Structure 1
């Protein structure tokens, strides 16, 4: 199970995914029309020779049954999603009719299981506690991935596209999580200043729009 949890966590983080786009809700069963399978995974090489991985999410909060594609690349880091996924596939061998992050259990009740949200978070947070890290919720991977790409110097527009935010929803998202992001940006003055300025400008814009709506 640990290998499946790691592969899922790395993918959530680097693709800025919502937890429900990789995990199965605890009160639901696996369905290939909704949940990701190994058939949803493909690899491609861009014109510059860089290999990337494309994941097709069959059903998303925004696009519903149309689904959406997300992309991540290899990383020179222990959280490399490609390395983690390859290891998971090699060890757990998810079949075409199974959840991508299915795994084999051991013991008297051993068998094949899909990775559900609560099982994932429980296993992840157990490991985090042992490593003296803070516990997380499902949305923390999306927040953390956003911060990671901003700290790397990627533009807000690039991160918005990667996270698949429409219109002004990304700006609202940044303001909502500013208390999480801002303290970790202090050591990078230019980015920190730009981040706070971006949030402040959007706050003023929202107030102006609200005022206009009230007068109309």
Structure 2
């Protein structure tokens, strides 16, 4: 198994594989039935979770079995029948299998966080916290694309996470591009993302990243999210530390618990509410169409904005047509 896969993902894959093997043993299947499972066998395995699990979870279990089979150089027998079974399971998933929608991080949440960070002094942790929070929000970043699991610099892998030199200098508009060595969808091919700069915003990503790099005296090859702690030791901001610091502040202000993905959907919602065209937001956030629609938030505000915009355009068009008609028929 790929050594770069997180421990959590690795454990889940091992769990799903073991689950399939135990099920096969209890069914009295032969070694051939297990190593080269027929579509009928796969359908029976998937049907085990009908009305018990969400469709996505069942598909994940089957996908792990598929990878396990193909790693052995064997053909995968799953076809239309298996797809129909999986689709049926998704349609009949129990309500208890669905997770509540995660709340989006909002601009006011960032302001609350900034109010409690010491950004006037030399606190390295607070400066990197500010940079990462606005970077994840305005860049619609996934937390795992810039934040490691470990705070130990010795564990940092520059082929997976960005270093300081991966953050380009601001362009003429003040925006910066960040090269991500590895992403969820592109993997090791990486991707460049645009960090748009709301220059009048006190929580500007440009200022936050610039001050973080200066205060923490980071070189080009240092981890982008590295900082010097109170013991004057170089550390790397991990996802766990970042979220714990954020949620500790927000808890005091009755703001709900946030995950790293809440920054991504918060940034997406922010741009949509600012009337940025959805296709532009989708491109900037590297969204797939179905996921992009699923994670829209603040639908009431968005609907109101676009309806008012539509009616305003319609009224303008009607007025323009009326004006032209009057000019055309006006007596000499």
Alignment TM-score, normalising by the size of structure 1: 0.76
Quote how far apart the aligned CAs of 1:189 are: 5.6
Alignment TM-score, normalising by the size of structure 2: 0.51
SS of 2:175's equivalent in the other structure is: strand
Q: Deviations over 1:40-74 (max 9, x none)?
A: 011253xxx42321100011111111110011232
RCO higher in structure (CA 8 A, sep ≥6): 1
Note if 1:21 corresponds to 2:139.
no
Q: Deviations over 1:146-188 (max 9, x none)?
A: 00110111111100110112xxx23x2244234x432453653
Residue 291 of structure 2, aligned match among 156, 163, 173: 173
Rounded to whole Å, the distance in 1 between the matches of 2:222 and 2:151 is 17
Residue 299 of structure 2, aligned match among 174, 182, 190: 182
Note if 1:85 corresponds to 2:209.
yes
Quote how far apart the aligned CAs of 1:26 are: 4.3
Q: Deviations over 1:57-94 (max 9, x none)?
A: 01111111111001123212132111111111111122
Note if 1:38 corresponds to 2:164.
yes
Residue 284 of structure 2, aligned match among 162, 182, 206: 162
Q: Deviations over 1:75-123 (max 9, x none)?
A: 121321111111111111223332101111114xx41111111001001
Tell which structure's C-alpha radius of gyration is larger: 2
Contact 2:151 2:236 in 1 (8 A): no
SS of 1:139's equivalent in the other structure is: helix
Quote the RMSD (CA, aligned, Å).
2.3
Rounded to whole Å, the distance in 2 between the matches of 1:50 and 1:97 is 26
Which structure 1 residue ranges, 5 or more long, are not aligned?
A: 194-216
Rounded to whole Å, the distance in 2 between the matches of 1:42 and 1:191 is 38
